[in-house]
């Protein structure tokens, strides 16, 4: 039989551990017959309580994942509604998200960050939902000042639309900053260099590449080699050199879709 005073101290130490959130199985040892009866009883009750708390936490985590998934689906549907308004936008978000995720994987950014890149890529142009109708008409008309103002505002609008979705975390900033340039001549805030998060730089490269290689009102889609050359020309001024290098290598090695 264990010394009751020692057993009590052991029990208190384990309860403190559990209270701190470290669910240890050590409590089960104290339910053995070598421990005094009252210690066994308390240990059994604490063990049971621990199991119930763990089960509830697991349930809450699942619930959070479901809510996150549903919220994401809702927002994605809104983003797809944009595709219905502007045929040229159809599929653009998905492709940019897929490219951005691949670059993230190639840069060893970790699963959570790669998931953020995919989501941010998918939603990066959601602010265009705020464009006035004339932005989607008269394709060959050069945009006037008011139209330019709308174009320059869409990353901010996108940020404002998504700001309530806590689970987006840093991805919100990637949407906000996807048209910023390293030399500070981007929009909407004119950020430069280190002020632009890596995630936004990755989305920017993927966005440019997809815009060049797919059909647009003002141009026919061009082959990847042309896009690589254009990315190279604005690398270091508009786009991040390392990201461009990584993107080109990824597409050269694994193709447009992988
Ligand atoms: Fe955009």
Single residue among 84, 104, 128 that ends a domain in this structure: 84
Average pLDDT over residues 87-95: 83
Average pLDDT over residues 90-119: 95
Distance 153 CA to ligand 1 centre (A): 10
Same domain, 222 and 243: yes
Average pLDDT over residues 199-207: 98
Q: What confidence category does residue 138 fall into, taking pLDDT thresholds of 50, 70 and 90?
A: low
pLDDT at residue number 89: 74
Range of the domain at 177: 86-254
Same domain, 51 and 156: no
Query: How far, CA to CA in Å, does 237 sit from each of 154, 173, 200, 204, 233?
Result: 22, 20, 15, 13, 9
Same domain, 167 and 208: yes
Q: What is the mean pLDDT of the chain?
A: 91
pTM over the 0.75 mark: yes
Is the predicted pLDDT of residue 16 greater than 90, yes or no?
Answer: yes
Which tokens is 118 given? 């995919």
Same domain, 168 and 119: yes
pLDDT at residue number 130: 87
Half-sphere exposure of 220 (CA within 13 A, CB side): 1
As annotated, the active-site residues are: 128
Same domain, 199 and 215: yes
Distance 112 CA to ligand 1 centre (A): 23
| β-bridge mates for residue 216, sequence order | 219
pLDDT at residue number 226: 96
Distance 238 CA to ligand 1 centre (A): 14
């Amino acid at each position: 039989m264990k010394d009751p005073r020692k057993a009590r101290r052991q029990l208190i130490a384990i309860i403190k551990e559990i209270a701190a959130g470290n669910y240890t199985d050590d409590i089960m040892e104290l339910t053995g017959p070598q421990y005094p009866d009252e210690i066994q009883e308390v240990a059994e009750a604490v063990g049971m309580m621990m199991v119930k708390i763990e089960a509830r936490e697991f349930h809450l985590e699942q619930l959070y994942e479901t809510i996150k998934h549903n919220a994401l689906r809702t927002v994605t549907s809104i983003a797809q509604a944009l595709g219905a308004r502007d045929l040229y936008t159809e599929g653009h978000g998905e492709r940019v998200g897929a490219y951005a995720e691949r670059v993230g994987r190639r840069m060893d950014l970790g699963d959570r960050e790669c998931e953020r890149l995919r989501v941010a890529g998918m939603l990066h142009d959601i602010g265009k939902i705020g464009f006035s109708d004339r932005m989607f008409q008269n394709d060959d008309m050069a945009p006037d000042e008011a139209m330019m103002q709308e174009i320059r505002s869409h990353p901010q609008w996108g940020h404002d639309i998504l700001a309530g979705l806590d689970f987006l975390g840093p991805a919100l900033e990637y949407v906000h900053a996807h048209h910023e340039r390293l030399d500070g001549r981007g929009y909407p805030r004119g950020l430069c260099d280190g002020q632009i998060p890596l995630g936004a730089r990755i989305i920017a490269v993927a966005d440019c590449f997809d815009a060049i290689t797919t059909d647009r009102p003002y141009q026919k889609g061009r082959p990847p080699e042309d896009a690589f050359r254009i990315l190279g020309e604005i690398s270091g001024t508009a786009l991040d050199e390392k990201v461009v290098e990584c993107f080109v290598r990824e597409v050269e090695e694994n193709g447009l879709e992988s």
